[in-house]
Every structure is written in structure tokens, then in C-alpha cells.
Amino acid sequence: MQNLLQNLNPEQYAAVTLPAESALILAGAGSGKTRVLTTRIAWLIQTGQISPSGLMAVTFTNKAAKEMQARLSAMLPINTRSMWIGTFHGLCNRLLRAHFRDASLPQTFQILDSQDQLSMVKRILKANQIDDDKYPPRNVVYFINNAKEQGLRAAKVNTYDPTSRQLAEIYGIYEEQCQRDGVVDFAELLLRTVELLASNQPLREHYQARFKHILVDEFQDTNDLQYRWIKLMAGTQSAVLAVGDDDQSIYAFRGANVGNMASFEREFRVQHRIKLEQNYRSHGHILDSANALISNNTERLGKNLRTDAGQGELIRIQEAPSDREESQWLVEQIKELTRQGIASSEIAILYRSNAQSRVIEHALFSASLPYKVYGGLRFFERAEIKHAIAYLQLMDNPHNDSAFLRVMNFPARGIGAKGQENLQDVARQHGLSLYAAVPHLGGKAGSTLGAFVKLIEAARFETQMLTLPELVKRVLEMSTLIQHYQNEKDGEDRVENLEQLVSSAAQFIAEEGFANDAPALMGPASIASTNIVQGDGVEILDADAALNTLMSPLSAFLSHASLEAGDNQAQVGQDALQLMTVHSAKGLEFDAVFITGLEEGLFPHENSAKETGGMEEERRLMYVAITRARQRLFISFAQTRMLHGQIRYNTKSRFLTELPEENVKWLSPKVQQNWFSSPKSAWDADDQYSQRSQFSGAGSSSYQNKVSYAAPHNIIPTNEDGWRIGLSVRHAKFGEGIIIKLEGSGSNCRAHIQFYKLGLKVLDLNIAKLEKV
Ligand code: ATP
Ligand code: MG
């Protein structure tokens, strides 16, 4: 038996071996919070205080949950798969699967991801003739999710004016539609579970008695609904260990509430708050910088961190003329690091927004450096995969309208917008799903859709006894999706992705412990039979084991596609660079970390200026980014960047100036100051965004050749006549454009202008007739 406790410092030791009472560990990055949490689980089991099924551990990302299971298996010879270790969404999904009847859900309920949620809202607005300029679909989705996170059903939403009444009405229609389709969105997974536990006493007491220990990592980022769920699962008897760091609270924009930490201490009668002050992750320069940066925040609970590791290398800061050159620089640095023996998988490239990854990916790809992207447009979110998944969803539940709509005319079957509308009308009149409404539809659309329904029925019939990978393969063939993409120009990637879906189904079956020959459509026997009868006559089937005892292979795979997307891009075991947003890097660590795009407006993000506390949240995000690094940290920014089809002229991020001089080394020379005003002025708060010019309409191809024309960061050159970079101008022949470079002076003054329609032109300012607009 391993001695689990031997490598812990005294504070960690005390935390791991706490008596069975609720406790809060509040400690900075890299101080071993997650390690304490995992070791405590192992210790509780090893000392016989609890069986593996008597505890539940909640983490924030699938990656973190997997890592916790792996660390645990390394400490104890136990099967962690059937343990209750997972994300909030994953565990709620498991509960709802086991108790679908009590939760008033169909057994085959499916999970609506954010994209599908948005499409459903758009459809509802259209069907009800609601003006989507006045009620933009994204805002409606935000409203709905927000209400759910506050635990509010449509009927309970506060309506105080016509707008809120209208929103509540849309929300109500949306609720009905989801129920009819048998789909639940992400927020619904939690809300439904909370309502189920709150209203069903026997069930609640069952779980409260079962889970003697509940452990929650990254507690600072829980929202109110998640906290309510923890309270319902815990009751008064369970010991809850909450672990967190207020300086790493980065989800306030999604309703996370740091205040939950204080409520937790009060409501769980926490006797003492445990502090961990030794950092085991980062070298001195990295830690000192993180500490200095975060000290600029005022709203802090206050913590200290020290390290015994040496100072290590200075943090390298690079200024690049453009995002392309920033990526080029990344490639060179990475090659150097790997030459020094650092594994690619130990190198992370972090960015604030997903949109930044494209240019980085392009550079890595051209340099043949393998990489893996977490988040972003994930495997399961690609159009061709979504289409395939929709067909699979129809195998599981043909009444899922979202799935039906997605593929009723894909590949094209000649069903026009009119036919679609007619079908939706008929379905509404009869209160039927689209699938069930088809026989009521006449005309050409009726017969074309009739053939589609027949195709689905035939596929459902034919695939009954197939295993999951076989079923996926067969459905891809029957749907003619593969054929469709084979005939499409540049369709090879999509065909490859579809083929990858078959392998990922095979991998899923193996990983989740389903029998190799289990028919994909068949649910486990335990669900089909009656529930286990408990002593006092209450029937409770415990949501006990792994998903393979709760769902059919296909249902489980579809949940996985919605919930656990993103892990399928690199081959398993491949040594690949790790690309992700700072948000998704939470809790992780790497030997070397690159933080890119340190530009005002990007990081800190411009939206943060609009919200109270927004800037402090951005700074916490930067704190999270810095503290991911063990040995080497690189930070970069670009003077110009192409983002969302616009070129942005950037000033460097304020966060760079908050890092102590003695911890950093500037690789690129600081900005030359020729024809410009004092760079200091760029730091005036009011000025911050006005110095960045943007324009739309330039395609990325024209941009490729032009980014290097940009001006140095934080300064906008102006000539005597007031022409300046970033100025919008109009030319009689070329139309409107924007000045991106000025050269020469007096009678020999030329401007490089990016015209929206015609691309770049270089014009002599003394000859060309330009108007300022
Ligand atoms: P974060 O706030 O970023 O989530 P954390 O507090 O959860 O960080 P961990 O990830 O648990 O920190 O630990 C950071 C690193 O330090 C890990 O590599 C861990 O194995 C190591 N570590 C923690 N405690 C010790 C210890 N007592 N001795 C040696 N290494 C340790
Ligand atoms: Mg952690």
C-alpha cells in the first residue's frame, strides 16, 4: 500500500486528513489544491472510511475530470470509471438518465448544444412572427439561460414591461418545444436536476445518505444553480470539501458567484478555512510576476504564495509587427524549446479569444508541428459532423425536431423553404413532431418528405442489431452524406472527418466499457425492467454505475458528442502542442507557456470596459494564464491583427506594464519613436480604444500581403495635412477605404489605402482626390 501522505507539506497533510466535516481550502495557483482534493479521495478510500461509491467529486472541465481519475488510479488500484467524478453537466446528465421518469423526460432525451439552442430560438421567433431585430436571437438565448441559472421557469420570470413579457413568452414556447422534442439544453441539465431533487424527497434523501463526502474543485467559479445542486446532494450530513482561489474566478460573465465561498462557510458551518501558501508549480520569476499583477486588483480575499524553486528564466516578451509574424516567432521558439528537450505536449499556447487560433494554427500547420486545439470549433461542432449526428439522433429519437430540420433537406432533396414552412405549420396545428406530421402534408413536399421518413425508418430497422461503429458507418452510407461530400470540391477533409467519426465511436465503446458486440440501439436491461425496490416501498434505481449501465451505446455516444466534445482532434498519445483559450487552461500546468495577443481590447478584452468589475476579471484571467507555466513563460503581442474580418491596430496590453521589470526580458526592441507623439498618451484611459482603427470588408486573402505595412504599436502617425493611419477616406473611383500607411512628406507624400471593395492602392496625396469621411 502506497503511503499517500508522505509528499505533503504540513498544511496539505492537515487538509487531506481532515475529519469528516465540511471545509474550505482557499489558496493560490499551484499550491496543490487539486492534489489535496485527489489525495483526500484516495486516503478516505484507502483507510476504509468510505467506499468508492460513497463519494462524489465535481470538477469544471472534462479534461480536469479525466486527469483526476488518472491521478487516482495511479494512487489506488480501483476502477475509477464507475465513480462519481465528473463535471456538473456530466453528473447531472447521469442523474437524469437514471431518473428520467421522475424528471419527466423521455428515456432517450438528447442534449441540445449551444448552436442548436440558437437555431431553435431563431425558428421560434420566425414561427411566431417576432421581430428578430428587436429580439436578437442571441440575446433571447442569453435571457433564457440566465433565467434558468437563477432557477426561474418561464412562468416565474419577472415581467414588468412589454419587452420582458415578450421574452418570457418566447421562453415559455421554447420550454414547450424542448419538452416536445425530448431535448434539454446545458442549463436545463442542471435546473432539471435541482428541481428533481428539490421536489422528490425519497430520491434526495437517498443520495444524501449515499454521498458521505462531496468534493468540489474550482469552487470560486460555481454559479448559484450549481451551488444549490451541491446543497441538495449534500444535505446536512455530508462533508463537503470546497477548494478554490478567488483570484482565479473567471466566469462571473456566466453567472459564477465568488460570494458562494462566503455562503458556503456560513451554510456548511465551516470551522476553519485552510490556507496553502507554498507554490510547487512555477519558478520564481513567473510567480513574482503573477503576484505583482494580481496585486493591482482591489477586490481580493488576500493570499500569499512563495516558492522554493529558484528564480529560473526571465519571462520573455515579444512584440511583433503583425499576428502572422507573432505566429512565426512562436514557431521558431517552439522549435528551439523542443530542441532543448521539452515535449510538445508540455508546451501550451494560450489566447484570450478562440478567433485568434486560426492564424496560429496556420503557422503550426505550415511548419508541420502537430497540435491539438481544445475548445474552439470542436470536432463535434463541425458542420459535417453535426449533420451526421443529426441522422444518428433520428435513429435514437425521430421526434427530435432540431435534428429533423437539420437534415430533412441535407443532402438536398428538393424541399424548399415553402415546404419546410408548410410542414412546420401542419405540425403546429396537430401538435405533432415534424416527423409525425409528414403524413398530414400533401403535395410535392409531402411525397418528398414521405420518402425521407421512409429512409429514416428503413435505417432504424436495418441498424437494430448493429454495434455503434457499424451503425455510424451504415447511417453515413444510407444518408448519402459521404457521397455528398465526395462530390463536393474540397470535400476531402469533411469525408475524412466523417470517417473519423466511425473511429471515434469505436474508441468511445472501448473507453466507456460497453461490450464490443452490444447493439447500439439497445438500452441496458436494468433500465427496461422495473426499478430496484427500497425498504419502505420507494422505488429508486440508483444512478450508480458508469453510463454503460444507464444508456444505450448510441444515447451515451450522443451525450458524449454534446458534452464532451473537443477531445478528438489529435490521435491519442500523440505528442502535440496544446492550444486553448485561457479559460480552458484553468487548473492545468505545462513546462512552457505562450500567452499571445497581449493587446488592449483583446486582453483585456474590450467588453470588460463595459461591465463593472470587468477589468479585474480580465486581470484574474491573466493571472490564471501566467500561473499555468512551470519553467518557461513567453508573452507576445502584435501591432496589427486580423480579427473577425477586420484589421485592428493595437496598443500593447496594460498588463505588460504591471509585470515587474526585474522579472521580464523584452526580446524585441521597444518601439522607435520617430514621427509620433509621446507613447505615453496611448495609455490615457479615454484614449485607449480610439487609437485602434477597424474596417470591415477586407477579405483575409488581401490581408495576407499587407499586414506588414502597419505602424508600430500604440502610436498613430499623422502628417501635416492631418492624414493619419486609421483614417477613413473616400475616393471617387475606388470608393471608401482606410489609410494603413503613410510615407514621405510635403510634395512627395503617399498613402497606402486599403479600399473596402478593391483592396490596397498606393496613392499620391498631392494628386489623388481624397475626402476624409
Ligand atoms: P490551480 O490553482 O492552478 O488549480 P492547484 O492549487 O490546484 O493549482 P495543483 O495542480 O494541485 O495546484 O498542484 C500544482 C503542482 O504542484 C502539481 O504538479 C502538483 O503535483 C505539485 N505539488 C503539489 N503539492 C506538492 C508537494 N507537496 N510536493 C511536490 N509537488 C507538489
Ligand atoms: Mg487545481
228 pLDDT tier (thresholds 50, 70, 90) = very high
| Ligand 1 atom with the shortest distance to the CA of 624 | 3
Q: pLDDT digit string (tens) for 634-650?
A: 999 999 988 766 678 88
- Say which residues have a Cβ less than 8 Å from residue 501's Cβ, sequence separation at least 6: 385, 388, 472, 476
Q: Which of 221, 246, 278, 281 to mutate to test the pocket of ligand 1 (most atoms within 8 A of CB)?
A: 281
Q: Is the pLDDT of residue 530 over 70?
A: no
Query: In whole angstroms, what is the distance from residue 690 CA to residue 396 CA?
Result: 53
φ and ψ at residue 101, rounded to 5 degrees: -65, -45
The response to whether 412 counts as a known ligand-binding position is: no
- Residues whose beta carbon lies within 6 Å of some atom of ligand 1: 7-9, 12, 27, 29-35, 245, 248, 280-281, 587, 589, 627
Indicate which residue of 185, 218, 384, 589 is catalytic. 218
Nearest ligand (C-alpha, residue 12): 1
378 is catalytic: no
Q: Is the pLDDT of residue 545 over 70?
A: no
Helix (H) or strand (E) holding 474: helix 468-478
More confident residue, 142 or 490: 142
Q: Which of 6, 26, 34, 286 to mutate to test the pocket of ligand 1 (most atoms within 8 A of CB)?
A: 34
Residue of the nearest CA to atom 13 in ligand 1?
Answer: 32
Residue of the nearest CA to atom 9 in ligand 1?
Answer: 32
Query: Got the DSSP string for 448-466?
Result: HHHHHHHHHHHHHHHTTT-
Residue with cell 486560426: 358
Q: What is the pLDDT of residue 253?
A: 76
Model ipTM over 0.95: yes
Least confident of 425-434, 503-512, 637-646, 717-726: 717-726
- Say which residues have a Cβ less than 8 Å from residue 160's Cβ, sequence separation at least 6: none
**Percent helix, strand and coil across the chain, each to the nearest 5:** 45, 15, 35
Indicate which residue of 628, 630, 652, 692 is catalytic. 628
33 is catalytic: yes
628 is catalytic: yes
Nearest ligand (C-alpha, residue 8): 1
Q: Which of 11, 31, 35 to mutate to test the pocket of ligand 1 (most atoms within 8 A of CB)?
A: 35
- Say which residues have a Cβ less than 8 Å from residue 758's Cβ, sequence separation at least 6: 734, 735, 737
Q: Are 229 and 92 in contact (CB under 8 A)?
A: yes
CA of 587 to the centre of ligand 1 (A): 9
More confident residue, 113 or 265: 265
Residue of the nearest CA to atom 4 in ligand 1?
Answer: 587
Residue with cell 440558437: 118
Query: In whole angstroms, what is the distance from residue 295 CA to residue 315 CA?
Result: 18
CA of 33 to the centre of ligand 1 (A): 6
More confident residue, 709 or 348: 348
Residue of the nearest CA to atom 23 in ligand 1?
Answer: 32
Query: What is the three-state SS of 629-650?
Result: EEEEEEEEEEEEEEECCEEEEC
More confident residue, 609 or 100: 100
C-alpha cell at 767: 494628386
Nearest ligand (C-alpha, residue 59): 2
275 is catalytic: no
Helix (H) or strand (E) holding 755: strand 748-755
Least confident of 115-129, 353-367, 497-511, 709-723: 709-723
193 is catalytic: no
The response to whether 27 counts as a known ligand-binding position is: yes
For residue 323, CA distances in Å to 328, 632, 649, 679, 756 come to 9, 21, 11, 21, 21
Provide the greatest CA pair distance for the chain: 97
Q: What is the pLDDT of residue 548?
A: 60
The response to whether 710 counts as a known ligand-binding position is: no
217 is catalytic: yes
For residue 298, CA distances in Å to 247, 257, 295, 607, 659 come to 11, 17, 7, 20, 17
Query: In whole angstroms, what is the distance from residue 680 CA to residue 702 CA?
Result: 33
Mean pLDDT calculated for residue range 251-268: 86
Residue of the nearest CA to atom 26 in ligand 1?
Answer: 8
Mean pLDDT calculated for residue range 360-385: 80
Q: Is the pLDDT of residue 13 over 70?
A: yes
C-alpha cell at 628: 499555468
Least confident of 126-135, 176-185, 305-314, 500-509: 500-509
The response to whether 33 counts as a known ligand-binding position is: yes
CA of 448 to the centre of ligand 1 (A): 60
Q: What is the pLDDT of residue 518?
A: 86
List own/partner pairs for 535-542 with CB under 8 A and 24 or more apart. Answer: 538/202, 538/206, 540/202, 540/203, 540/206, 541/98, 541/99, 542/98, 542/206, 542/210
Average pLDDT over the chain, rounded to whole? 83
Q: What is the pLDDT of residue 643?
A: 74
Residue with cell 503583425: 322
Query: In whole angstroms, what is the distance from residue 460 CA to residue 392 CA?
Result: 9
Q: What is the pLDDT of residue 377?
A: 52
312 pLDDT tier (thresholds 50, 70, 90) = very high
Q: Where are the alpha helices (DSSP H) in 211-308?
A: 224-234, 259-267, 284-294
From the list 20, 12, 29, 17, the residue with the least C-alpha distance to 214 is 20
Indicate which residue of 12, 34, 80, 278 is catalytic. 34
Burial label, 376 (beta-carbon count in 10 A; 0-12, 13-18, 19+): buried
Query: In whole angstroms, what is the distance from residue 706 CA to residue 740 CA?
Result: 9
Q: pLDDT digit string (tens) for 82-127?
A: 899 999 999 999 999 889 999 999 888 888 888 789 989 998 999 8
Q: What is the pLDDT of residue 710?
A: 33
| Ligand 1 atom with the shortest distance to the CA of 37 | 11
Q: Is the pLDDT of residue 521 over 70?
A: yes
Residue of the nearest CA to atom 14 in ligand 1?
Answer: 30
Query: In whole angstroms, what is the distance from residue 634 CA to residue 244 CA?
Result: 26
More confident residue, 302 or 156: 156
Query: In whole angstroms, what is the distance from residue 413 CA to residue 222 CA?
Result: 46
